[in-house]
Amino acid sequence: MEKACIDINELVNVFSNTHGSIYQSDKLNCFYVDFGGKFARFNCLSLQKLKKVVEDIDIEALLLNTHKADFELVTFNGCEHIYLLSALEIIALKDLLHGTFTMFKLNHLISDCLYRLVY
């Protein structure tokens, strides 16, 4: 998906780090992950699956294994996107996804507190 096809004004930046960003589109009910030179569209379930796949990667084992390179293919069933990431990129993507889901939880907590104050 090219960035030029998306109206960037309609996207809300959920979380960013130095390696990428995750945007939310309320109009299209999806998320866009801008990471590793790729701008990919995910629905909510796919974003959760991506987070689980990335969190399940054992960075220590990847770095200590001398029989293979420290790169990992990141994908899951039903996903049309594939990432080939180094150990450092995996750490950066973990950080990006962790920050994003923390922001979702924080938003939910704030909404819940405001709802209680009003009602």
Q: What is the pLDDT of residues 81-118, one digit of tens each?
A: 899 999 999 999 999 999 999 999 998 888 877 777 66
- Quick check: is 82 in a domain? yes
Please report, for the domain that includes residue 100, its CATH number.
2.30.31
Domain count, the chain: 1
- Quick check: is 48 in a domain? yes
* Banded model confidence at residue 69, pLDDT cuts 50, 70, 90: confident
* Banded model confidence at residue 51, pLDDT cuts 50, 70, 90: very high
Can you read off the two tokens belonging to residue 20?
Answer: 């990428």
Of the candidates 40, 33, 43, 42, the one whose C-alpha atom is nearest the C-alpha of residue 93 is: 33
Mean pLDDT of the chain, nearest integer: 88
User: Is the CB of residue 53 less than 8 Å from the CB of residue 76?
Assistant: yes
Q: Which residues pair with 22 in a beta bridge?
A: 15, 33
Its domain, for residue 81, covers 8-117
